[in-house]
Structure 1
Amino acid sequence: MTTDNNILFSFLQIHFVLLLSRQGKVRLTKWYSPYSQKERSKVIRELSGMILTRGPKLCNFVEWKGFKVVYKRYASLYFCMCINQQDNELEILEIIQYFVETLDRYFGSVCELDLIFHFHKAYYILDEILIAGELQESSKKAIHRIIDAQDLLVDEAKERANSISAIMARVAE
């Protein structure tokens, strides 16, 4: 959008992403703004207390320390993202939905245990969607192709490692 030769940019800045269980356990965190470890613990404690106690009929936006926290509950998980006051919370709800749909496709109906036992995959998927707190890729097809290619590379590396181990075992005999 241009106005009188001034270019206006609308950058959506996500400060952090939290995935919390209904019991308040942290299942995934990604920090895009600098927070010390002590500050991170305090943020998680404050927000989990605030979000987990809200009724299901209340809106999914919470004002917190000059920011907005947008969250959405899916089964036993709360997906939370912190943005600036002036940012569009509906856009964040769409990003959360996009992330959940991508996780669902990968894990086949994602659940809390998937995030516990395959957290590295959840982080990888999040990193393909968001970089530095900004939406990186909005095409589901592109994300799925990238994830499938990554899985193929991992499988090939495992096969090579297994064949090298087999060769080493034969040599050692």
Structure 2
Amino acid sequence: MINFLLMVNKQGQTRLSRYFQTVNVSRRAALEADVVRGCLSRKKDECSFVEYKDFKLVYRQYAALYIVVGITDSENELSIYELVHNFVEVLDKYFSRVVSLNYSTLNIMFNLDRVHIILDEMIQNGHVVETNRTRILAPLGALDKMADG
């Protein structure tokens, strides 16, 4: 099961956080700081799976962004690793269609509602429910049509 997903930049600033398990707001800041510090300090040749307290971390780096997913011990790390890549591909497909540039940190920050819709289409209650890019982007296509029309 997926506990949370974080998107952070190289400076360790959180750009997106989504929790699928209840975590106190007071504990979130400390958890995010600790998780980000642990992932950013790792070298490129080290494994992208990290044991952390009572769960595992799976992370991938894309240019200046790190996507970190906290999962339970029973979850398959490789499937989550590929899920992160699929998520980035969906973001790239959507934002390159909407904006003439490929997606960037700014696109994500200024379109958090769209990113959350994409994430909601892919993951619900901590479980992966959809990986097909066309189906994931269908609700956003309908929203964009309504906005244009």
Same-fold status (TM-score > 0.5): yes
In the other structure, the counterpart of 2:51 is 63
Task: Choose from 102, 124, 141 the match for 1:131.
Answer: 124
In the other structure, the counterpart of 1:83 is 71
1:71 match: secondary structure? strand
RMSD across aligned positions (CA) = 1.1
Which structure has the larger Rg over C-alpha atoms? Answer: 1
- Given that 2:118 and 2:137 are in contact with CA atoms closer than 8 Å, whether structure 1 keeps it comes out as no
For 1:39-50, what aligned pairs fall within 5 Å after superposition?
39-50=27-38
In the other structure, the counterpart of 2:87 is 99
Count of residues in Structure 1 that have an aligned counterpart in Structure 2: 144
Letter in 2 for 1:49: R
In the other structure, the counterpart of 1:16 is 4
Runs (4+) of structure 1 exceeding 3 A deviation are none
Bigger shift: residues 141-150 or 126-135: 141-150
| Relative contact order higher in (CA < 8 Å, ≥ 6 apart) | 2
- Within 1, Cα distance between the matches of 2:81 and 2:66? 12
Q: CA deviation at 1:155?
A: 3.4
Q: CA deviation at 1:43?
A: 0.7
Letter in 2 for 1:48: V
In the other structure, the counterpart of 1:140 is 133
- Within 1, Cα distance between the matches of 2:68 and 2:78? 13
In the other structure, the counterpart of 1:30 is 18
Listed as ranges, the gaps of 5+ residues in structure 1 are 1-12, 157-173
- Within 1, Cα distance between the matches of 2:73 and 2:35? 16
2:38 match: secondary structure? helix
Task: Choose from 108, 113, 117 the match for 1:120.
Answer: 113
In the other structure, the counterpart of 2:99 is none
Letter in 2 for 1:41: A
Q: Tell me the alpha carbon deviations over residues 90-114 of structure 1, each in whole angstroms, 9 at most, x when there is no partner.
A: 0001110110000000112321111
2:47 match: secondary structure? coil
Q: Tell me the alpha carbon deviations over residues 12-65 of structure 1, each in whole angstroms, 9 at most, x when there is no partner.
A: x10000001000010000001010011111110101111111111101011101
- Within 2, Cα distance between the matches of 1:102 and 1:150? 16
TM-score scaled by length of structure 2: 0.92
Q: CA deviation at 1:146?
A: 2.5
